[in-house]
A and B are shown apart, each in its own frame.
Chain A
């Protein structure tokens, strides 16, 4: 077991990264991004989520819990039903998933271009969740070294 364990340990310390763009602000899509981000961290990948456009709007103060569904939102009825079903199935909330993502060492980058376009200041956002502010260069720098890149 000894030599096998050490060779797999060596394999585990190779730098491995995942870079995920969170472009959508919909409940189902932000949830997918956060589940994937947590999964990547759990597998030992350094993981960064880049929140941009509608995704970044979800990081405004108090907006994470108010995400609509991408389909069948039905003026909030679909969202209400989905949240009820998810609660019953004990699916974690976006807040819980983001808190876990941060606890596992995940990084959150806020898109500065979106902030300019949407007229958002840092204090408009949930700053406790944001590690850094950046533009396309910040994403590409991470993505070029990443084994997994996703646009959600």
Chain B
């Protein structure tokens, strides 16, 4: 699974600097564009969005591959549709 998470994402969403609910909304749009099995990568800086995107992943029945945050507060979430 780790190897898969490191595979280049099929869809990339950059929401750095955006606030709630935009990262969640942009994530959802990416899910609508993604084909089953494709990996979505989303970057952001808004703390609450980092918490709520995994809730949406669960609610939508998707697979959460990875959540990480660097020292500058930029988080990265990988999800497989």
The bracket for how many chain A residues form the interface is 20 to 34
Q: CB distance A89 to B19 under 8 Å?
A: yes
Please name all residues of chain A whose beta carbon is closer than 8 Å to the beta carbon of B29 when the two chains form the complex.
Answer: 100, 103-104
Q: Mark B48-65, 1 if CB is under 8 A from A, else 0.
A: 000010011011110100
Query: A11 near B61 (CB under 8 angstroms)?
Result: yes
Contact A8 B56 (CB under 8 A): no
- Can you list, as one digit per residue, whether each of A30-52 has a CB less than 8 Å from chain B (1) or not (0)? 00000100110111100000000
Contacts of B58 in A (CB 8 A): 8
- Cβ contact within 8 Å between A42 and B21: yes
B20 CB–A CB distance under 8 Å? yes
Q: How far is the CA of A102 from the CA of B61 in the complex (A)?
A: 22
User: CB of A9 within 8 A of chain B?
Assistant: yes
Chain B, Cβ-Cβ closest to A16 = B59
Let me know if A91 is at the binding interface, CB within 8 A: yes
Q: Is B22 an interface residue (CB 8 A)?
A: yes
| A136 contacts B by Cβ under 8 Å | no
Closest A residue to B26 by beta carbon equals A100
Residues of B within 8 A of A104 (CB): 25, 28-29, 32
Q: How far is the CB of B79 from chain A (nearest CB, A)?
A: 12
Across-interface contacts of B20 in A (CB, < 8 A)? 35
Does residue B73 face the partner (Cβ distance < 8 Å to A)? no
Which of B1, B19, B25, B61 has a CB less than 8 Å from the CB of A42? B25
For A1, A43, A103, A104, the residue with the greatest tally of chain B CB atoms inside 10 Å of its CB is A43
| Cβ-closest chain B residue relative to A4 | B63
Q: Report the separation of the CA atoms of residues A91 and B55 in the bound assembly, to the nearest whole angstrom.
A: 21
- Write the chain B residue with the least CB distance to A8: B61
**Nearest Cβ on chain B to A152's Cβ, whole angstroms:** 15
Q: In the complex, what distance in Å separates the CA atom of A105 from the CA atom of B60?
A: 15
A-B contact pairs, 12 of them (CB 8 A): A5-B63, A8-B58, A12-B59, A12-B61, A13-B61, A42-B21, A42-B56, A43-B59, A90-B18, A90-B19, A91-B19, A104-B25
List chain A positions with a Cβ less than 8 A from chain B: 1, 5, 8-13, 35, 38-39, 41-44, 89-92, 97, 100, 103-105
